[in-house]
Amino acid sequence: MKNNRGLFLLVSLIVPMLTVVGRPDNKLASSVTSNGQVTLTKGRLAIHNINYQVDFGEIEQPLHRTTYSINSEVTIEDTREVFSGWELWVSQQATNWYDGLNLAINEPNRLLTSTSQKVFRQTSNNNRPSQTIPIKIYLAVDPEVSVGHYQSRLEWVLANTPSEETNK
C-alpha cells in the first residue's frame, strides 16, 4: 500500500540549550549566541511501499516461547543531486502491549524498544535512484501472555546522513 504519511525525514539543527543564571545584582552572568545553516539541493529522499498494517492475525496461546515472522519490504527513493548516504531506523512505541510479547526487525533476538535501531545504511547509491530492502518482522510470544488483543506502533525514520567516504 503506497502512503507517504509514515515518512519522517530528519533535518536537524543543533542549538545548545542554555540556562542563564542571574547574579545577585540581577546582571546576566553570561550570554551565548548560536548560528546555524542549512543547504537545500534538488532531488528528494523518500520512503515508499512500507507495510502500514503488520498483522500477525490470531495466535493461540503457546505452551512455550514461540516466534512468528512476516516478510515485508520498504523502498527508498533517492534522487538527490549530491548523494550523501542515508540510514533507515525503527523503534517500537508500545500502546497496548504485554512484556511477554517481543518484536524484532531482521534479527529475531535484537528486540525493539522505544530507542531507535538502525535497520539499514546506504553509503553509495550505485546510480540507482531507488532501492527495495527486504524486511523481516519477528514476534516472540511467551506462554504467560494473557489472552487478549495487543497492538503496538513501529516508528520508521529515514535519515539523511553522510557517507563513510565523507567521514574519512
Which three-class secondary structure string do you get for the chain? CCCHHHCCEECCCCCCCCCCCECCCCCECCCCCCCCCCCCCCCCEEEECCCCCCCCCCCCCCCCCEEEEEEEEEEEEECCCCCCCEEEEEEEEEEECCCCEEEEECCCCCECCCCCEEEEEECCCCCCCEEEEEEEEEEEECCCCCCCCCEEEEEEEEEECCCHHHHC
- Residue with the bigger pLDDT between 151 and 163: it is 151
Residue 106's closest CA among 126, 90, 130, 123? 90
Considering the chain, what percentage of its residues have pLDDT values greater than 90? 21
Instruction: Among 37-41, 146-150, 162-166, name the most confident range.
Output: 146-150
- Among 74-78, 120-124, 128-132, which range has the highest average pLDDT? 74-78
Q: Where are the domains of the chain?
A: 4-10+42-167
* The predicted structure's pLDDT at residue 136: 94
CATH code for the structural domain at 4-10+42-167? 2.60.40.1090
pLDDT tens, residue by residue, 12-50: 333 334 334 444 555 555 566 678 877 777 888 888 877
Min mean pLDDT across 38-47, 83-92, 108-117 is at 38-47
- Give the side-chain half-sphere CA count within 13 A for 75: 11
pLDDT exceeds cutoff 50 at 143: yes
Q: Distance (Å, rounded) from C-alpha 117 to C-alpha 45?
A: 20
- pLDDT, position 135: 92
Contact predicate 57/132, CB 8 Å: no
Tell me how long the chain is.
Answer: 168
What pLDDT, on the 0 to 100 scale, is given for residue 105?
A: 92
Give 1 or 155, the one with higher predicted confidence. Answer: 155
Residue 124: per-residue pLDDT:
72
Task: Provide the pLDDT for residue 81.
Answer: 80
Q: Which residues pair with 66 in a beta bridge?
A: 141
Give the pLDDT confidence score for residue 26 in this predicted structure: 52
User: Grid coordinates standing for 89?
Assistant: 531506523
Q: What is the pTM of this model?
A: 0.68
* Whole-angstrom distance, CA of residue 27 vs CA of residue 165: 48
